[in-house]
Amino acid sequence: MSSTPTPLIALTMGDGAGIGPEVIIGALADEATTSRCRPIVVGDAVRLRQAAEILGVHPKIEPIASVEDATFLPDRINVLDLDLLPADLPWGAVSTVAGEAAYQYVRTASELASSGRVHGICTAPLNKEALHAAGHTFPGHTELLAHLTGTEEVSMMLSTPTVNVIHVTTHIGLLDAVAMIEPGLVERTVRRGEQTIRDSGIARPRIGVCGINPHAGENGLFGYGEEDEKIVPAVRKLCADGIDARGPLPADTAFYLANRGEYDLIVAMYHDQGHGPVKMLGIETGVNVTVGLPVIRTSVDHGTAFDIAGTGRATAASMVEAIRQAAKLSTNA
C-alpha cells in the first residue's frame, strides 16, 4: 500500500443560511469520501454543529487555527473556524452577514491553495443576492475565484457520470453571449476543456462543439451565419493541431450522443444550452469544475436551496462527488 498522503482539500462552507453546512456534514460522514483526501472545512464550527444536530449525527467538529494543526482521525471534522456567523442566523433567508462570510471562506481557501498549503478547493453553494448585498458583486464562484487568483479567463465545466460540458460563456444575457462568442474564445475554451479531460485520464478526448442556432444554423437557414463566423474557424484550427473536435453540432443531438457515450466533452455556447441537459441528466451527482485557474476548484452543481435549508432533507451526493473530483484532479496535477 502506498504511503503517499492523500491531498489536502479545503471545503468552503458556502452561504451559512443554505444547505452548505448540511451537505458538508453529510459528505464527510461518508468514509469513502474521507479516504480519498484530507478535508479541512473553511467555515464556522458553530453552524456545522447545528447542521450535524439537524442531521442527527455527532462527529467531533474541531476548530483549528491553521491547516498545519489539522489531525485526521475517524469521525473528526477539522474546521478552519472563521467564526463569522451569529448563532441565531436563520436558515433559508438572504443575509448580508452570511454573504460576507461566504466571501471570506472562498478568499481564505483561495489564499491557502495559491500558497500551496492545500492541494485543491471544493465549494458549497453561495447565494448571489447575499454576496452582492455584502458588496461583492461577482456573478458566482467562477468569476470570484478568477478575481482572487488574478486569472484573466476561466471556463465553467459541469461533470456528471455520463456527460461533461464546458461553457464558452456563462453568466451573461443571451444577446451578450452571442456577441461575445468569437473563434479565439471558442478555441481557448476547447483547449482548456480538452486538457482537463486528459488530466482525468482520457488520453484523446472526443469533443462535440455545439452550434448557436437551432440545428447549428442548418447551412444558413437559421440565424445570420454565426456558426461559420464564430465556430467553424476554431474547430478547423483545433483539428489541425490534432484535437478531436467535431462541430458545430445541433445541441440537442450533441447531448443525446454524449449521453450515449459518443463524446467525452460537449462545448456549450451559453449558460442554459449546457446547464439544462446536465441538470436533467444528473444534478444529484453533478460537479462544477472551474477550468483555467492556477488552483484546482470543484463545486456542487446546485444552489443554496433555501426552501429546504435547515430541514435535513438535502442530499450530499453532489458534494461527495465534488470532493472526489477535487481529490482526483489534485492527485493527477
For the record, the C-alpha cell of 166 comes out as 464546458
Tell me the β-bridge partners of 77.
Answer: 61
Please list the residue range(s) of the chain that carry CATH number 3.40.718.10.
1-151+293-333, 156-291
Taking only the tens place, the pLDDT of each residue in 151-179 is: 999 999 998 888 899 999 988 899 999 99
Q: pLDDT at residue 11 above 60?
A: yes
Report the pLDDT averaged over residues 75-100.
Answer: 97
Helices (H), 45-182: 45-55, 96-114, 128-133, 141-149, 174-180
Tell me, which fold does domain 156-291 have in CATH?
Isopropylmalate Dehydrogenase (3.40.718)
- CA separation for the pair 300, 127 (Å, rounded): 13
Task: Assess contact for 7 and 113: CB atoms under 8 A.
Answer: no
pLDDT given at position 1 = 36
Q: pLDDT at residue 107 above 70?
A: yes
- CA separation for the pair 65, 38 (Å, rounded): 16
Taking only the tens place, the pLDDT of each residue in 118-131 is: 999 999 999 999 99
Q: What are phi and psi of 248, to 5 degrees?
A: -70, 140
**203 exposure class (CB count in 10 Å sphere: 0-12, 13-18, 19+):** exposed
Instruction: State the first-to-last Cα distance of the chain, in angstroms, to the nearest integer.
Output: 21
- CA separation for the pair 280, 289 (Å, rounded): 18
Tell me the β-bridge partners of 60.
Answer: 76
- Architecture of the structural domain at 1-151+293-333: 3-Layer(aba) Sandwich (3.40)
Most confident of 96-105, 211-220, 321-330: 96-105
- CA separation for the pair 248, 67 (Å, rounded): 46
Taking only the tens place, the pLDDT of each residue in 255-276 is: 999 989 999 999 999 999 998 8
Whole-structure pTM value:
0.87
